[in-house]
Amino acid sequence: MTPLALLLVLAAAGLHATWNLCAKRAGGGLPFVYLVGLIICSLYVPVIAVYWWWREPVIEWAAMAWILGSGVLKTSYSLFLQRSYRTGDFSLIYPLARGTGPLLSTLAAIAIFGERPTPLAFAGGLVIIGSIFVMTGGAKLLLQDRAHLRSAVGHGLMSGVFIAAYTLWDRHGVAGLALAPLLYDAGTAFTQLTLLTPFGIRRWSEVKAVWRDQRRYAFGVALLSPLAYVLVLTALSFTPVSYIAPAREVSILIGAFIGAKVLKEADGRRRLWAAGAMVLGVVALALG
């Protein structure tokens, strides 16, 4: 990985953890996700207008279809993530979703792109799995009074599945199809908004309530989320996904620290240690 790619990914990791903190504090569902989409697309309109005038890009139909597919994956991810934050601690859900993503991304890269892991990468995967077991409370998760926690963990894991899916999908979009990262992310944002609009209109009173009570968090997500992902897409355009996906996950440690030290969540210390081990596993994946 080049120093530029590493710098882009580390900056994105800090931004990513911050916007997820905004999403956690908002505690919203579909109305919040829809409001964030409205803000993102409103901000993107003048940016894309200037870019289009400056570069006059040509987008093929195949590229449009790929952008639509990415929008579907990210809509699913956003809804699962928001639901998991409504029922689970930040220090649990954020590392869980982020740690599952690179593990699955690497496995899929092996199966799809023919990449071959070294023993170090294999060991890193085992460390991530063990860290997830410790972070979720291990066998205690099966107890009757942990039903709500099992639901949060399930949604967090599904968020990780969609992270892995759109990471691989977007790698082909910006590298294989050579789409500009800015246009690609804007296209997926408008796709998400289109998909959610029928539901947002139906729940417009809730959207207005979110605007009244949580708009500072909505703007935080709307500003930081696209910026973080454009940085990642830029790095993906000239760096293999098997390097980018794991390197992004330094945000796991940032998220666990925020949950333990800033939000003062229960089991924060244990989750912080587990997150640290998960980061080591992710580093092993990257080096492998």
Whole-prediction pTM value?
Answer: 0.81
- From the centroid of its chain, how far is CA 56? 30
The count of structural domains within the chain is 1
CA pair distance 183, 63, nearest whole angstrom: 11
Given this model, what pLDDT does residue 144 score?
A: 46
**Structure confidence by residue, pLDDT tens digits, 209-227:** 999 999 999 999 999 998 9
- Residue-wise pLDDT for 82-138, tens only, equals 888 887 888 888 888 877 776 777 777 677 767 676 788 778 778 887 887 777 766
- pLDDT of 232 reads 87
Angle at 115 between CA 109 and CA 118, to 5 degrees: 115
Read off the tokens for 271: 């989750």
Nearest to 233 by CA among 162, 286, 185: 185
What SS3 class is residue 285? Answer: helix
Print the domain residue range for 62: 3-287
CA–CA separation, 46 and 54 (whole Å): 12
